[in-house]
Chain A
Amino acid sequence: MIELVDVVKRFHDFLAVDRVSLKIDKGEKIVIIGPSGSGKTTLLRMINFLEKIDSGRILMEGREVGYRKDKKGRLVLEKQDVICALRSEIGMVFQHFHLFPHMTALQNVMEGPITVKKQPREDARRIALDLLGKVGLLDKKDTYPAFLSGGQKQRVAIARALAMKPMLMLFDEPTSALDPELVGEVFTTIKKLAEEGMTMVIVTHQMGFAREMADRVIFMDEGKFILEGTPKEVFSHRMDNARVKAFLDKVL
């Protein structure tokens, strides 16, 4: 469905993502783990063009998308409307939620369909109420984000992304900013989504995601894939790789 081919990202001298290729198939759940600064988040952000790649290609349904070459042969992002159309197909959930604070939970979820898809208000409202029900927050529909707990905020953020009916969901450390007792509700919500067949890429430190819902686990370090395979393979192979072992020993 979506494929990254030899993508590279530099921040000044720092090589954040170093010639990585990743193919995401429809319905697949990919969990990316690895130490901080290993390039996981940058890789995720490349998928919906929040991070511009320095070289490589991004393919959607086999077609190269998002970039063109300028006169000097450097990659430049396509025009805004092209990028926006691509992004609207991909949902993203952030570590720090980034809910719109001036809108109620319901308004947050309605915002995408109304502003981007120009859906009629009533339709957007119906979809939003449906999704809030699904994440278990229908009773909080008129509450502003400031009055929600972290777990509730993240569930609204998931509903907000789902309202665009994306073909792919990206989760950037969705539980890292949560108090331990609130991780469960968000984890359950994402797991439910996975069981419904949503295609998703999850960047996380939470090994539960890798064990319980991953079709494929990728261990990333220093901008490269160190290890890639089914959860079983990765967790049993970890003894073979000193870095993976060191990391997993720390987080498990």
Chain B
Amino acid sequence: MEVRNSRPGALTGALGLVILLLIIPAASHAQPDPYDILATATREFNSGNIESALNTFLTVPAPAQGEDGGAFVRSRMEAAKICFSTGEYKKSAALCREILDVYPENLEAKNLLKQIAAAQTPKWLRFLKDMGTYFPTLLKASGMTILLVLITMVISPVAGLFIALARISRIKSISFIFWCYIWIFRGTPLLLQLFFIYYGLPPLGITLDPFTAAVLGLGLNYSAYLAEIMRGAIESIDPGQMEAAKSLGMTYWQAMRRIIVPQTYKRLVPPVGNEFIALIKDTALVSTIAMVELMRAADQIFNTTFNIFILMQAAMIYLVMTSIFTVSFRKLEDRLGVYENR
């Protein structure tokens, strides 16, 4: 009996072990597969049962140590997105954090958290924050605007002076060639000229990078304008000045260089200043030929944020630049006029 008594106990123990060994896997097998739940929930979501889809998503259990958590992450993520879309930001954020507890590096959850934070801040505050965020980008882009302006400010007066002198040349053919030049570049839109240089020259075998094309376009256009201004200024100088210079024995070019042209400087400042202020604004046109400058940068940021403050910020930067020009040209004019009795 003792033995008999003891046998069934051992037997029961062994049997229990066997049953356990057999049942546990079977029982765990009986648990629904997380991916099945995920699929079911997705089906529900797709058929429009948002509410039940949400509940189903949440039945996917958290993975144990070492287990595959793919379905869990997916389900919580989808649930969080549903909550985000219905405006339940707190619930959505909690779900994101649930993911991050298990996978602290999950980017999708992190990004959604950021979106939730952004959605919860008022629009005007977000816009203000944008201004701070994107200001360095705008400032960097204005660097290109300034560079284009400076290069054109060096090229166009020099080229303009030579074109002006060519225009007043007594050699008819030279004068005519540059008359044509001015006629074309002053008579057609700068935008068209830029398009022609950037898109129109490659088929003719000349391919220019955007920067070169921009500098060339602005330079050619502004040289034409400045040439006409300079020609007018030179012709406005009293002919007696040329005669006086000649009577001393000066050649035409000596007289131009020493006597005539220096007298035009003061008269040139107001109209040339005007042109340079127009130039600052005209650089915005090169954004159309793949140049990243202030206008283009502002446009790009505006297109992703729809934040009107970004455009206002760009406008302020343009205003600062043009104002600096206005003031400095006024000062320059006064300084160049020291010899005038006024």
Contacts and interface: CB of A to CB of B under 8 A. Distances in A.
Contacts of A85: 249
A150 interface: no
Contact of A87 (B247, B252, B341): B247
A122 interface: no
A146 B240 contact: no
Contacts of B249: 84-85, 87-89, 112, 116, 164
Interface in B227-281: 238, 240-241, 243-252, 254, 258-259, 262-263
Contacts of A71: none
A160 B238 CA distance: 18
Interface string B314-342: 00000000000000000000000011110
Contacts of A147: 341
B248 A87 contact: yes
Given A111-B248, A115-B254, A160-B248, A94 B340 contact: no
A52 to B, nearest CB: 13
Contacts of B247: 48, 50, 87, 90-92, 94, 161
Contacts of B238: 98
B46 to A, nearest CB: 84
Contact of A81 (B246, B251, B258): B251
Interface size class of B (residues with CB under 8 A): 20 to 34
Interface string A94-107: 10101111110000
Nearest to B263: A102
Contacts of B254: 115-116
Interface string A41-59: 0000000101000000000
B341 A94 contact: no
Interface in A98-152: 98-103, 111-112, 115-116, 144-147
Given A115-B248, A115-B250, A144-B338, 15 more contacts: A48-B247, A50-B243, A80-B252, A87-B246, A88-B249, A96-B240, A98-B238, A99-B244, A102-B263, A102-B339, A115-B258, A144-B341, A146-B339, A160-B248, A164-B248
Contacts of A84: 246, 249-251
Contacts of B338: 144
B246 A50 contact: yes
Given A115-B258, A144-B338, A98 B241 contact: yes
Contacts, number: 74
A161 B254 CA distance: 17
Interface of B: 238, 240-241, 243-252, 254, 258-259, 262-263, 338-341
Interface string A155-169: 000001100100000
A99 B263 CA distance: 12
Given A87-B249, A146-B339, A100 B243 contact: no
12 contacts: A48-B247, A50-B246, A80-B252, A81-B251, A84-B251, A87-B246, A87-B247, A87-B249, A98-B240, A144-B341, A161-B248, A164-B248
Nearest to A88: B249
A116 B339 contact: no
Contacts of A99: 244
Contacts of B339: 101-103, 144-146
A112 to B, nearest CB: 4
Nearest to B262: A102
Nearest to A170: B247
Most chain A CB within a 10 A radius of its CB, from B240, B247, B258: B247
Contacts of B250: 84, 112, 115-116
Contact of A116 (B244, B248, B252, B341): B248
A146 B258 contact: no
A146 B244 contact: no
Contact of B340 (A87, A98, A146, A161): A146
Contacts of B252: 80
Nearest to A48: B247
Given A102-B263, A146-B340, A94 B243 contact: yes
A50 B241 CA distance: 13
Contacts of A81: 251
A172 B250 CA distance: 19
Contacts of B263: 100-102
A50 B180 CA distance: 32
B312 to A, nearest CB: 44
Contacts of A98: 238, 240-241, 243-244
A48 B245 CA distance: 12
B249 to A, nearest CB: 3
A115 B255 CA distance: 9
Given A96-B240, A98-B244, A160-B248, A111 B340 contact: no
A103 B263 CA distance: 10
B341 A146 contact: yes
A81 B253 CA distance: 11
Most chain B CB within a 10 A radius of its CB, from A89, A90, A94, A102: A102
Most chain A CB within a 10 A radius of its CB, from B244, B262, B339: B244
A92 B339 CA distance: 24
Given A111-B258, A146-B341, A147-B341, A100 B241 contact: yes
Contacts of B240: 94, 96, 98
A88 B248 contact: yes
Contacts of A160: 248
Most chain A CB within a 10 A radius of its CB, from B244, B248, B250, B252: B248
